[in-house]
């Protein structure tokens, strides 16, 4: 099967996630739908084929100088409601209870944390990121959409996720493939060990991953969103080290552009490698939640179920749930 799956992601549809494809109906507890992070879709790298809008830009439209890249990032690749719904469903299914405490790793503007405290009045979260600027941006932004009481249940920590020590939580979550920043098995294991140590006895570690044969190609993918175009640019792939260099650019109807708004210098870990590292870090079991296929299109249907077998599609996104 060659179709692309991945309804969520950095780019778009079952290719690299953009968590946009929501609307999965009432998934059974076993399924858990949600789309994680974002990924690019398949298409050969033809950068010159930019789709500049044929429409004449109007006053008030987005352009490179009036846009905030972080806001565009949130609009383009994040779906905190879907992620929180996925976590709730999986936790209830596996542990037969509702999770309450969370640690959001690589939290950036901590959109997931904001959603977590909105869901239930006793939910609390520790949101961790290395970068004080993005945490401060998140504080300003979340303050517009959450009450003071909700915000009081979010603890922000500027730290390396591999070094953080804090109270144990029900769930450690890391989305949008951020742990791909760790490039050696030793670094990956060290991070996974830290996440495991942060969990209560029946706690779950929930992460995502992307892949597919197009992930190993130099190419870019565009997605037209509300007033701007999101571009996922796989600029470099090294098949010897499995290192990849990806950028996000934003383009606007007036022809302006924010180039390299975000850059990701990653190692593209395979699901098998990730599960081996989880086992080495002491997790008792890990399960891959693979996205189902939309019959008509052959693409992803937004419903993620536990699976031991996937199809070799062009692009996919999956969740991995590890049990402490």
Ligand X SMILES: C[S@@+](CC[C@H](N)C(=O)[O-])C[C@H]1O[C@@H](n2cnc3c(N)ncnc32)[C@H](O)[C@@H]1O
The encoded tokens of residue 280 equal: 């080495």
Which of 33, 67, 178, 246 touches ligand X by CB under 6 A? 178
Q: Report if residue 181 touches ligand X, rule: CB under 6 A.
A: yes
Q: Which stretch binds ligand X (CB under 6 A): 148-156, 172-180, 213-221, 223-231?
A: 172-180
Nearer residue to ligand X within complex by CB, 243 or 254: 243
Q: Looking only at residues 66 through 95 of this chain, which bind ligand X when binding is defined by CB under 6 A?
A: 77-78
Judged by CB under 6 A, the number of residues near ligand X is: 18
Nearer residue to ligand X within complex by CB, 178 or 286: 178
Residues 286 and 322 sit within 8 Å (Cβ to Cβ):
yes
Q: Which stretch binds ligand X (CB under 6 A): 59-67, 175-183, 250-258, 297-305?
A: 175-183
Give the DSSP letter of residue 180: G
CB of 179 to ligand X, least distance (A): 9
Which residues, in sequence order, are CB contacts of 5 under 8 Å at separation 6+? Answer: 14, 15, 212, 291, 293, 299, 300, 311, 313, 315, 316, 317
Closest CA to 218 of 180, 198, 244: 244
What DSSP string describes 195-261? HHHTEEEEEEEEEEEEESGGGGS-EEEEEEETTEEEEEEEEEEETTTTEEEEEEEEE-TTS-EEEEE
Nearer residue to ligand X within complex by CB, 125 or 161: 161
Burial (Cβ within 10 Å: 0-12, 13-18, ≥19) of residue 167: exposed
| Residue 283 CA, distance from chain mean position | 21
Which of 116, 175, 283, 316 touches ligand X by CB under 6 A? 175
CB of 83 to ligand X, least distance (A): 8
| Token pair 């060990």: residue | 193
| Token pair 């915000």: residue | 151
Q: Looking only at residues 196 through 215 of this chain, which bind ligand X when binding is defined by CB under 6 A?
A: none
Nearer residue to ligand X within complex by CB, 63 or 141: 141
Q: Report if residue 102 touches ligand X, rule: CB under 6 A.
A: no
In this structure, what is the dihedral angle of CA atoms 211, 286, 106, 234, given to the nearest 10 degrees?
A: -10
The encoded tokens of residue 143 equal: 């303050």
Q: Which stretch binds ligand X (CB under 6 A): 55-63, 124-132, 194-202, 282-290?
A: 124-132
Residues 172 and 191 sit within 8 Å (Cβ to Cβ):
no
Backbone angles phi, psi at 77, to 5 degrees: -125, -5
The encoded tokens of residue 211 equal: 């892949």
Q: Which stretch binds ligand X (CB under 6 A): 40-48, 61-69, 88-96, 157-165?
A: 157-165
Nearer residue to ligand X within complex by CB, 34 or 161: 161
CB of 108 to ligand X, least distance (A): 4
The encoded tokens of residue 217 equal: 């190609």
CB of 318 to ligand X, least distance (A): 15
Which of 1, 130, 136, 218 touches ligand X by CB under 6 A? 130
Which of 82, 154, 161, 244 touches ligand X by CB under 6 A? 161
Which of 160, 218, 238, 284 touches ligand X by CB under 6 A? 160
| Residue 97 CA, distance from chain mean position | 24
Task: Write the binding mask 225 to 264 for ligand X: x where contact by CB under 6 A, - elsewhere.
Answer: ----------------------------------------
Which of 126, 134, 154, 244 touches ligand X by CB under 6 A? 134
Residues contributing to the site for ligand X (CB under 6 A): 37, 77-78, 106-108, 128-131, 134, 160-162, 175-176, 178, 181
């Amino acid at each position: 099967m060659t179709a692309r799956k991945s309804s969520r992601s950095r780019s778009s549809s079952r290719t690299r996630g953009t968590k946009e494809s929501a609307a999965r109906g009432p998934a059974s507890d076993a399924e858990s739908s949600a789309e994680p992070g974002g990924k690019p879709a398949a298409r050969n790298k033809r950068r010159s084929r930019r789709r500049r809008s044929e429409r004449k830009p109007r006053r008030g439209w987005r352009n490179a100088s009036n846009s905030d890249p972080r806001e565009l990032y949130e609009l383009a690749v994040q779906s905190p409601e879907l992620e929180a719904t996925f976590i709730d469903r999986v936790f209830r299914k596996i542990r037969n209870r509702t999770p309450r405490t969370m640690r959001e790793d690589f939290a950036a503007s901590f959109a997931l944390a904001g959603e977590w405290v909105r869901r239930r009045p006793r939910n609390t979260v520790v949101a961790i990121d290395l970068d004080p600027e993005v945490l401060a941006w998140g504080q300003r932004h979340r303050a517009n959409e959450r009450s003071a009481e909700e915000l009081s249940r979010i603890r922000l920590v500027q730290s390396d996720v591999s070094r953080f020590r804090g109270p144990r939580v029900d769930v450690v979550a890391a989305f949008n493939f951020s742990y791909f920043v760790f490039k050696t098995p030793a670094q990956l294991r060290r991070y996974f060990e830290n996440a495991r140590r942060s969990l209560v006895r029946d706690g779950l570690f929930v992460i995502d991953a992307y892949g597919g044969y197009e992930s190993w190609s130099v190419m870019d993918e565009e997605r037209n969103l509300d007033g701007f175009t999101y571009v996922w640019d796989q600029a470099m792939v090294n098949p010897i080290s499995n290192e990849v260099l990806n950028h996000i650019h934003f383009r606007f109807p007036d022809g302006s552009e924010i180039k390299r708004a975000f850059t990701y210098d990653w190692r593209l870990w395979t699901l098998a490698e990730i599960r081996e590292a989880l086992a080495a870090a002491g997790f008792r079991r890990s399960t891959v939640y693979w996205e189902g296929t939309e019959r008509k299109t052959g693409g992803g249907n937004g419903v993620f179920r536990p699976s031991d077998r996937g199809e070799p599609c062009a692009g996919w996104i999956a969740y991995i749930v590890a049990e402490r």
